[in-house]
Amino acid sequence: MSQSLAEMVRDKIDAGALPLDRPAQLWAGQGSGGSCAACDQPILSSQVEFEPQYEGRAAFRLHVGCHGLWEAERHRRGYLPDD
């Protein structure tokens, strides 16, 4: 049985692959073809790509839906937008 996208996001947060703290900046734009840090699928140029940026951490990108699930999980764990 395959994992749901929400489970994938939770597992990546638990493993430290996706952070919980608020990014220093958040960019959005046209997909670059790179892999989504949550689902590992390419983010096509016809899709929107989110790029949370952190000091001292490599950049990563997320699909719109993956970004929403990541934000929801951050909030569920108590990391609110104004933290």
Along the 83 residues of the chain, how does pLDDT read in single tens digits?
A: 578 999 999 999 999 999 999 999 999 999 999 999 999 999 999 999 999 999 999 999 999 999 999 999 999 998 876 54
Q: pLDDT value at position 73?
A: 95
Rounded to two decimals, what is the model's pTM?
0.89
Q: Report which of 62, 70, 60 is spatially closest to residue 20, judged by C-alpha positions.
A: 70
Domains of the chain plus CATH, in order, are 5-76 (3.30.1740)
* Inter-residue contact 36 to 43 (CB < 8 Å): yes
